[in-house]
Amino acid sequence: MKPFCSGPRSDVDLLYKLQEGRLSKSLINPFYFKEAVAPLVAARRHDRQIGLQEVVERIRVLESQSDILLVEGSGGLLVPLGEGYAVADIIKALDCSVVVAARNKLGAINHVLLTVDSLKTRVAGRICVVLMGCKIRTLAAQTNRSLIEESLWPIETLRIPFLGESSIKLLPATLKRYEKKIKKTLARIVKAVTLTTL
DSSP E strands, 18-105: 31-33, 80-82, 85-86, 98-103
The size of the chain, in residues, is 198
Query: Alpha-carbon distance 69 to 87, whole Å?
Result: 16
CA nearest to 32, candidates 53, 57, 13, 18: 13
Residues labelled catalytic: 2
Distances (CA, A) of 49 to 18, 23, 24, 32: 30, 25, 23, 13
